[in-house]
Amino acid sequence: MARIAFHLTIKDEQQDAYREAHQHVSDELERAYLDSDAGLQTYSVFEKEGHVFGFMEVDKPNVIQDIMENSDAQAQWDEVMEPILTDEDVIWLDEVYRMI
Q: Any idea what the Cα angle at residue 59 is, between residues 56 and 63, rounded to 5°?
A: 85
Q: What is the pLDDT of residue 27?
A: 97
Sign of CA dihedral 73, 28, 92, 18: positive
Partner residues linked to 76 by β-bridges: none
Give the pLDDT of residue 81: 97
Is residue 33 within 8 A of residue 43, CB to CB? The reply is yes
Rounded to 10 degrees, what is the CA torsion of 66, 72, 78, 79? 160
- Provide the whole-model pTM: 0.90
Q: Which of 1, 100, 5, 6 is nearest to 58 (CA)?
A: 1
Residue 91 near residue 7 (C-beta atoms within 8 A): yes
pLDDT at 76: 97
Question: Would residue 97 count as lying in a domain?
Answer: no
pLDDT of residue 30: 97
Q: Domain count for the chain, please give it.
A: 1
pLDDT at 31: 97
Domain that holds residue 19: 2-91
The predicted structure's pLDDT at residue 61: 96
Q: Is residue 45 part of a domain?
A: yes
Q: What is the CATH number of the domain that holds 30?
A: 3.30.70.100
pLDDT < 70 positions in the chain: none
In a domain, 46, yes or no: yes
In a domain, 30, yes or no: yes
DSSP state of 89: P
